[in-house]
Structure 1
Amino acid sequence: MTKKNDIKLLRINYLRGPNIWTYRSVLEVWLDLGELEDFPSNKLPGFNERLTAWLPALIEHHCGVGERGGFLQRLQEGTWCGHVLEHIVIELLNLAGMATGFGQTRSTSQRGVYRMVFRARDEQVARVALQQGHALIMAAIHDEPFDVKAAVELVREQIDDCYLGPSTAAIVNAATDRGIPHIRLNEGNLVQLGYGAAQRRIWTAETDKTSAIAEGIAGNKDLTKTLLKACGVPVPEGEVVDSPEAAWDAAEDIGVPVVVKPLDGNHGRGVSLELTERADIEAAYKVAEAEGSDVIVERFIPGDEHRVLVVGGKLVAAARGESLWIVGNGRDKVTKLIDDQLNSDPRRGEAEEFPLETIVLEREPTMRLLLERQGLNGESVPAEGHRVLVQRNGNVAIDCTDDVHPDVAYQCGLAARAVGLDIAGIDLVVQDISKPLAPQRGAIVEVNAGPGLLMHLKPAEGLPRPVGKAIADHLFDETETGRVPIVGVAGSVGTSHIARLIAWLLHLGGRHVGLACRDGLFLGTRRVEGKDRANFAAGQRLLMNREVNAVVLENGAASILNDGLAYDRCTVGVVTDLLGAEPPVAPALAEHDIREPEQMFKVLRTQIDVVLSEGVGVLNAAHPQLVEMAELCDGEVILYDVDHASPVLAAHRAKGGRTVAVEGHHLVLAHNGQMAVRCADLDSAAARRLVAAGESGVGVSWLLAAVSAAWALGISPELISAGIETFDPTPKQ
């Protein structure tokens, strides 16, 4: 077969918010198949066989058939290469550990050109997966070699670089399960949960409730012990030292065996246990000194190390550590025995998803010192059957939450409160955590700010614990959703005026409103930017503003097509018209192949799709297609039109719905079974001025839309009337 031209990737666009495809972020790719438009999969010799040999798990893809093997059936029947590329990219993401199921491919008005989308939690990861998928499909078409394993590894590396760490992800996922939205604030693990004034922030397992003073105290082990001891929490006696000789003197005063560790270290680095000899103690001082500014010598406490997670003063998870041993065979060196007997454990690895770390002696001075105390090093060959201790502390990954004695839980909670941490990792040493600390001389040895959660999420043994949920519930009580009222206004004409009047009415109701529209960016009544700000970026800025307790956003069709909506759900969604696709079509829409009102319907329905179940959709009943959009709304629907006696409005009221219309010279708010309320006199000078200020041909319609949204937000008819009388349609800088 003659070699075909490559599939061209014409345009790649990352849709960050809800969009015409799905509620979630996706990567949208415009493809030109070129001559491959005439060659579906069943007309490419050997293509299907090569593809399924490289990606055998494609058999799990249901595709439109709706059952296992569905996509393979489509391959055999003949499907176009854009659709095949969609499934290749999804499978590469699955193989890289980022399970993805959503994808669609649709033709455009131009022959051979398609729009292909797939679920994309991160833009850079999605772009790498697309790049590798594109290379793979062309190799399969041209019968050229392709390294699938290397492609998957490239995607996996990008995932490791870009995705949230496991601790942060656990908290975000728990918040999402409760319907609490989130915004990632940097490329790391700083995340905002909730919107505007209702938000909280996390950075891994630290929150905006975490005191900087408490974090500073936790970093100073000696000060921490002083505070804990004052509260009656059992701690080991200890002394800060400044030299190897002072370390030995302190050990003699305390009584051997002792522990030598850095004063401000963490993760068990530089900690040496159960030391009795002067040489060992002085050597341990040098190891600890390399990790922190000062060194502390403490009484050695017999028992196992435990890590207890305390959230909001309560114990929510506990894990136990264990000592690590290798057994000699008379042939292999210590380093090889460690690899064969310890690092071969599938729970060990370098990436964050592994609960246990790979042991590398070159980077573990404490382990090397422990081996030296046994007369060994990494090159030694232990005799057959000889047991060698490799690690005394750390390796905390065995869940023991259900075994914790109430006294131990109380002491850990008290320790966290004494330091002042809302979330704390409490390290304690005890022989049996199911018994009180004091009788067995157990003690709390450290209190840590920003503790890792992986040991509780993926324990090496035992049950995983819902620690992410515990932290999310700590930040938001059961009545809180992390949301502020959000109003989205979508359409083609009059939408900027509508958004500004809604914001004004919210302001009169006592809200500190953020507004982004074509007239600029507003905070309260102050316009802080005068350019067109009806876009995703401006909306996100308002949602991140901690002073804002209500947000109004204008969403044009082009903005939805380019970026998606700035929010996941809204309280009120307004759609005014479908006129943007009528001739002459705006260039911003033409480039998205939007040329018919039916296509505009699919774009603007996005605004109604995201209305909360307790929210309200506001639709212009003068457009029959918009009335059809009502069935897509999860919440209530308010219809508006100029004629109060309109059959559509009357039918809506008969079903128990609310309407806003004009009767005589007044705006009328009507609800079935209730007396209609007149809220504004359209003959007043202010009302006439507002009607005249609207865009050509809109008339009073834009006022009806704004009043409908205000009513949906619970603003009283009296305040609505006052707002219409006082609203200035000309924005001021």
Structure 2
Amino acid sequence: MRTFDDIRLLRVTYLRGPNLWTYRAALEVWLDLGALEDHPSDKLPGFVDRLVAVLPALEEHHCGVGERGGFLQRLREGTWMGHVLEHVVIELLNLAGMPTGFGQTRSTSKTGVYRMVFRARDEAVARCALERGHRVLMDVINARAADVPAAVQAVRDAIDRAYLGPSTAHIVASATERRIPHLRLNDGNLVQLGHGRRQHRIWTAETDRTSAIAEGIARDKDLTKRLIAAVGVPVPEGRIAASAAEAWEAAEDIGLPVAVKPSDGNHGRGVTLDLSAREQIEAAWALADQEGSEVIVERYIPGDEHRLLVVAGQMVAAARGEAAWVTGDGRQSVAQLVDQQLNQDPRRGDTEDHPLGRIDVRGDGAIVVDLQRQGLAADDVPAAGRRVLIQRNGNVAVDCTDEVHPDFARVASLAARTVGLDIAGVDLVAQHIGQPLAGQQAAVVEVNAGPGLLAHLKPAIGAPRPVGKAIVDHLFPPGDDGRIPLVGIAGGGATHRVARLVAWLLQLSGRHVGLACRDGLFLGARQVESRDARDGALAERLLLNREVDTAVFENGPATILDQGLVYDRCHIGVVTDLDGAETLERHDIREADDLPRVLRTQMDVVLAEGTGVLNADDERIAALARYCDGGVILYATGPAPLAAHRAGGGRAVLAAGGRPVLCEGPAEIPLALRGGSSLPPAVLLPAVAAAWALGLAAPLLAAGIDTFDAQNPALNPADSR
């Protein structure tokens, strides 16, 4: 059997935003099949059967046929290896737990060279999937053993390293459902929701409305108890113990049984409950001392542990904890019983994706203490039928939201508001969460900042709760999508001059305008960066800036092809010209007729309530109107290209006597300029149309044009950039 050299990956480009292929981030790969160009899938003996044997779920891929088994049909009919690589990569991503449906492969003008693209939520993960998929495919082509499990694990590991935690990811998904954009600000869970002045930030379940003072209070459990007790929230009596001996003294004074916990611990670490014997209390003090700066001894409250999630003063979800027990069989040790009866539960694990944690009977001091009270150790063998208590807390994963009595919801809300937290996990112990507070022994034992959401998102028992939606609604009231007006200007000629004029006009209207163009990065009239700001890393700074309430971006064809757009959607999208094709040969573009499919990207992302601005002097550009979800304003140097659009009541901008005229249907409003502008129509008309689309009136537009030349002398007609 013939052995083939590896498919060559000529160029790999991460497209961070909307691009030629899709609205979303993608990885584009230019590849050279070499000799495999002459050996499509049906020409390699046994290839299809070998591929399906290692990746049987390829049968589920629809491909262009549009139904299950479509890709297999293409394989047996004959398809080229670039297309096969696309599906192998997608399947590895699917198997690794990141379902991915989008991919395309297209030939280029050079024989054997293809462009392959697939959806890439994260660049590192996408590159890992490409590398591993490439290796698997070459192994199958050459009839070598393909280690698919290792490939899947590598991609899964990349996902674990790169992706948001489940709580943050759920909040972001809830924001996306409301079409609120997001930007990840670090490698962890710091995420910006919204743009510019209308943004909010989250860090897991903390927000930019979460007070640092409130967080400090919540970390100090003794201070928290004193504050919430002062406003009538029931709390267990307790005090700080500086030593094991003081812990026993405190327990005697408070009354047995007691609980011992660190004053500033979390996740139940170092907490031991229901203690009555001195040796138990002293051992529990030593355990708690390892987890926090101080140790609290407090009255033990019998009942079940509950976590009530409070958002903006309202209880939105609740989960109940259940003690973990094992039953002896007279043969196995406690440790073996735990592994068999508890840790085998698929809901238990060591990652954030598991609602229940794995139990370590030797490493968890609280479990060791509880076993000692029962006269047992991890290696002891309980009698057959004997029930052994393993863990009293740490299993808060049973949804009970619908059971919570209003008394407990009110107490949780009061506790969160007293501490000052906008989002809080209120831990309370109660015997009957569904009955009134009066008449039962119950108490709030902790108020936590940045509470984990997993118990409410993936409860071990019960229905998931939309806690992410509650958090997003807290930050963004109904109707607020967190977006500031964005203007995207695409073309290859004088688009930087158009962008500069648009920014100037909008600034005169009282807006705090950010501008990213080839001349640099601007905040108002101040240049803050002289480098070409069509680069996405620079342009994104406008979206991060809390002062910016409107932003203008210049996007050349190379920007779209090399990086994708920096924003997901915009309010105003402008396409001015089809210049610059001669500079794009590396993208297999050689003439102006190839550019509309690239610049279409700018029209694709216009919001439904937005406006597309198109140059009607070029029919190829005017035809892009069909891709715009919003309204359309056409502009032209003469009336003929605008006639049909105006006849239908559409808006347009016309050059007449060297001055722009605003047209809406048959109505016309000439701009009353003081004198003729030095700006050519190719700059003046699209800029006026974009500013008009954002609500600027004719007098302000005229004043802006009159003053622009004086304020921007470098941008005169002689400027040929």
Superposition TM-score tier, normalisation by shorter sequence: over 0.9
Mapping of 1:44-443 within 5 angstroms? 44-443=44-443
Q: Which amino acid is the alignment partner of residue 355 of structure 1?
A: P
State the match for 1:638 in structure 2: 633
CA distance in 2 between partners of 1:592 and 1:334 (Å) = 65
Please list the CA deviations of residues 538-592 of structure 1 after superposition, one character each: whole Å capped at 9, or x if unmatched: 22111001111000000011111111000000010000011222xxx11xx1111
Distance 1:149 1:183 in 2: 32
Amino acid at match of 2:203: W
Please give the residue correspondences for 1:476-555 in structure 2 after superposition, counting only pairs within 5 Å: 476-555=476-555
Report how many aligned residue pairs link the two structures: 713
Does residue 729 (structure 1) correspond to residue 712 (structure 2)? The answer is: yes
Give, in whole Å, the separation in 1 of the partners of 2:530 and 2:6: 45
Is 1:661 matched with 2:661? no
Q: Does 1:684 align with 2:675?
A: yes
Question: What is the one-letter code of the residue matched to 1:662?
Answer: A
Q: How far off is 1:599 after superposition?
A: 2.2
Does the 8 A contact of 1:424 with 1:450 survive in 2? yes
* Whole-Å separation in 1 of the counterparts to 2:564 and 2:381: 63
Distance 2:123 2:545 in 1: 24
**Contact residue 486 and residue 570 of structure 2 kept, 8 A:** yes
Please report the TM-score for the alignment, with normalisation by the length of structure 1: 0.96
Q: Are the equivalent residues in 1 in contact too, given 2:96–2:153 (CA < 8 A)?
A: yes
Contact map agreement 1:491 1:578 (CA 8 A) in 2 = yes
Q: Which amino acid aligns with 1:100?
A: T
Distance 1:292 1:529 in 2: 47
Q: State the secondary structure of the residue aligned to 2:671.
A: strand
> How far 1:437 sits from its partner (Å)?
2.3
Q: Deviations over 1:584-613 (max 9, x none)?
A: x11xx1111111333211110000100000
Shift in Å, 1:280: 0.5
Paired residues of 2:662 and 2:670 also in contact (CA < 8 A): yes
Separation in structure 1 between the aligned mates of residue 133 and residue 281 of structure 2, nearest angstrom: 57
Q: CA deviation at 1:535?
A: 2.1
Cα offsets for 1:217-237 (capped at 9, x unmatched): 000010000110111011110
Q: Unpaired segments of 5 or more residues in structure 2? A: 716-721
Q: CA deviation at 1:729?
A: 3.1
- Once the two structures are superposed, residues 417-472 of structure 1 have per-residue CA deviations (whole angstroms, 9 ceiling, x without a partner) of 00000000000000111012232111110000000001100000000000000000
Which residue type is aligned with residue 307 of structure 1? R
Q: What are the superposed Cα offsets for residues 618-650 of structure 1, whole Å, 9 maximum, x if unpaired?
A: 00001101111001000000000111x21x201
Q: Evaluate the alpha carbon distance shift between residue 626 and residue 390 of structure 1 in structure 2; reply closer, same or farther with a 3 A threshold.
A: same
Q: By how many angstroms is 1:706 displaced?
A: 0.3
Whether the aligned pair in 2 keeps the contact of 1:535 and 1:555 (CA below 8 Å) is no
* Cα deviation code 1:300-325 (max 9, x no counterpart): 10100000100000000000000000
2:597 maps to 1:602? yes
543-552 vs 522-531, greater mean Cα deviation: 522-531
Contact conserved, 1:680 with 1:724, CA < 8 A, in 2? no
Instruction: Letter of the 1:593 partner, please give it.
Output: D
Task: Note if contact 1:527-1:731 (Cα within 8 Å) is conserved in structure 2.
Answer: no
Q: Render the CA deviation track for 1:185-205: whole Å, top value 9, x for unaligned.
A: 000000000000000000000
Q: Which residue of 2 aligns with 1:447?
A: 447
Tell me, what secondary structure is at the counterpart of 2:269? coil
1:622 partnered with 2:613: no
* Deviations 1:467-505 (CA, angstroms, capped at 9, x unpaired): 000000000000211000100010011101100010011
1:15-42 CA distances to partner (integer Å, 9 max, x unpaired)?
Answer: 0000000000001111100000000001
Corresponding residue number in structure 2 for 1:695: none
> Amino acid of the residue matched to residue 507 of structure 2?
H
Taking the aligned partners of 1:282 and 1:495, their CA distance within structure 2 comes to: 75
**Which residue does 1:474 correspond to in 2?**
474
Q: Is 1:649 aligned with 2:642?
A: yes
* Secondary structure of the corresponding residue to residue 436 of structure 2: coil
Q: Distance in 2 between matches of 1:404 and 1:18?
A: 45
What corresponds to 2:566 in structure 1?
566
Deviates more, 1:459-468 or 1:330-339: 330-339
- Kindly indicate whether the alpha-carbon contact (under 8 Å) linking 1:497 and 1:729 is maintained by their aligned counterparts in 2: no
Alignment partner of 1:302: what SS? coil
State the Cα deviation string for residues 687-712 of structure 1 (Å, max 9, x = none).
Answer: 1x3x2xxxxxxx32210010000100
Whether the 8 Å CA contact 1:191–1:203 is kept in 2: the answer is: yes
Specify the SS of the correspondent of 1:274: strand
Q: Give, as a single letter, the amino acid of the residue that structure 1 aligns with 2:650.
A: G
| Equivalent-residue separation in structure 2 for 1:561 and 1:377 (angstroms) | 65
Partner SS, residue 438 of structure 1: coil
Shift of 1:680: 4.0
Give CA deviations for 1:331-373 in whole Å, capped at 9, x if unaligned: 1121111110000101111222111111123431111121122
Deviation at 1:731, TM superposition (A): 5.4
The answer on 1:612 being equivalent to 2:607 is yes
1:711 to 650, 669, 692: 692
2:9 aligned partner, one-letter code: L
Indicate if the aligned counterparts of 1:261 and 1:297 stay in contact, CA closer than 8 A: yes
1:153 & 1:364 partners in 2: Cα distance? 30
Q: Report the AA paired with residue 702 of structure 2.
A: S
Give the whole-Å Cα distance in 1 for the aligned partners of 2:658 and 2:80.
59
Identify which range, 504-513 or 362-371, moves more after superposition: 362-371
State the TM-score, normalized to the length of structure 2: 0.98
Q: Offset at 1:536?
A: 1.1
Give me the whole-angstrom Cα distance separating, in 1, the residues matched to 2:267 and 2:55.
40
Instruction: Tell me, yes or no, if the aligned pair for 2:17 and 2:565 is still in contact at 8 Å.
Output: yes
1:696 matched to which residue of 2? none
Deviation per CA, 1:101-123: give whole Å up to 9, x if none.
Answer: 00000011111000101111000
The amino acid that maps onto 1:667 is: P
Closer/same/farther in 2, CA of residues 319 and 731 from structure 1, 3 Å limit: farther
